[in-house]
Amino acid sequence: MVVNANSTIESNFSSFDRNINTTTLNNSAFTDNVDMIIRLVLIAILFIAMLSLGCTLEISKIKNYLIKPKGVVIAVGAQYGIMPLTAFCFAKLFQLGPMESLSVLICGCCPGGNLSNIFALALQGDMNLSIVMTACSTALGLGMMPLLLYLYSQGFSNLAQSVPFTYIIFSLTMILVPCGIGILINYRAPQYSKIITKVGLTLLLISCVVIGVLAGMSDGGKIFTVLSRQLIAIAALMPLTGFICGYILATLFRMNAHCRRTVSMEVGCQNIQLCTTILKVAFSAEEIGQLYFFPVIYIVFQIVEALIFIVLFRCYQRLRPSQQEMEEYKAVERAAEETNGPSNSVI
């Protein structure tokens, strides 16, 4: 009887272990499949975003800024001078770990993003400068992003060897292709450009929701492990620093008000789609963990802070007298002076 009981217990435990192993394998396979879908969706988002950017570019505008490149040079210099340095300083200041530092550095070294064009429009900035600057920073990113990552990663022990230079160069090369296709479409068939841009923005919003749902299914509550106090603080301070420093730098170079607001938005807004794609595709889950969600936190603060600036600018415009009102006021003052002048002399 004892032998039979022991054999029964052993068989029950072995079947229980087999069930656990089968469930674990099934969950692992499901997670791997969802992870692969997220990677493909991120690549598709990046392609659509750059195609939409290309459709907003006109060859004539590019030529004008190439002939007189002062504005673009200042803006791109601010983009690649301020944000990587800001990312490096914050990573040191908050004493981040190696992979956390790498995530912040990659975000800081990315070229400008499409959102800056929308924000520049809302702030009545120079749209030609905004669009050309985004395109130029994307093209220059092919050399600048790997170079800056190499230089700044030297400030952290054993970090340079973790930077996926090959994949970053490949990604930057690939995003130039849809951008070039968009420029060609806008040149050959401009009637389709606006349609592609509107459809692209709609698909981007839908894709972001899909990624959020898939990530929740794949990672569950582990998503929120990335929300450490240090990373939240950096995600909030980086775009704010970019907006303020970009405006100050443009002011120092005596750019007009429209260009100052444009440079401010361009410097503070990063290409989050590119950053997220690099972090998710170039690294394994064991290496990067949930840190590929850092750009998502960054973009939330980026949008909120930009909207605050837009609201403040709109309020300032409403409270400030319009140009026409100022001219009418000055005309009335001049008329009053002319009227009172002779009477004073008579008295």
> What does the pLDDT look like over 219-266, one tens digit per residue?
545 555 556 788 889 999 999 999 999 999 989 988 888 889 988 988
pLDDT at 243: 92
pLDDT at 283: 73
Mean pLDDT value across residues 151-160: 78
pLDDT at 121: 76
Mean pLDDT score of the chain, rounded to an integer? 74
Q: Does the structure show a pLDDT above 50 at 188? A: yes
The least confident of 84-88, 151-155, 239-243 is 151-155
Sequence-separated (6 or more) residues with CB below 8 Å from residue 222 = 290
pLDDT at 229: 83
Report the alpha-carbon distance of residue 80 to residue 253 in Å, rounded: 17
pLDDT at 79: 84
If pLDDT is split at 50, 70 and 90, which confidence band does 341 have? low
Sequence-separated (6 or more) residues with CB below 8 Å from residue 333 = none
pLDDT at 247: 92
Report the alpha-carbon distance of residue 194 to residue 182 in Å, rounded: 11
pLDDT at 343: 44
Q: Does the structure show a pLDDT above 60 at 83? A: yes
Q: Does the structure show a pLDDT above 70 at 35? A: no
Is the model more confident about 294 or about 282? 294
pLDDT at 327: 60
Phi, psi for 270 (deg, rounded to 5):
-105, 160
Mean pLDDT value across residues 63-69: 76
